[in-house]
Amino acid sequence: MATCDTCGNDYDRAMTIELDGQTHTFDSFECAMHRLAPTCDVCGVRVVGHGVQANGTVYCCAHCAERAGVEGIEDRVSA
């Protein structure tokens, strides 16, 4: 069995994920997201969806990017 990097659970159906040259082991997607998902630089939530990025910084949404002084990012574009 393999041990989850996040919670320490020994699980016979664990998965491995390679990111930036490092291999991680998890017993669930929840543990993988908790460990690997980036954090919004403004509000601190884990960015599990697309999020937005500007100047190498990750934000959960355009609102948080705007709060950080980023201009020109929108969550959606009108047709």
CB contact at 8 A, 56 and 44 = no
Residue 9: pLDDT band with limits 50, 70, 90: very high
Strands 52-54 and 2-3: unpaired
The number of beta carbons lying within 10 Å of the beta carbon of residue 40 is 19
Rounded-to-integer distance, Cα 27 and Cα 73, Å: 36
Q: Tell me: pLDDT of 78 over 80.
A: no
pLDDT for res 79: 66
Element at 57 (helix H, strand E):
strand 57-59
pLDDT digits (tens, 9 = 90+) for 16-57: 999 999 999 999 999 999 999 999 999 999 999 889 999 999
CB contact at 8 A, 25 and 3 = yes
Q: Tell me: pLDDT of 76 over 80.
A: no
Which residue, among 50, 44, 24, 43, has the nearest Cα to 35 in the 3D structure? 24
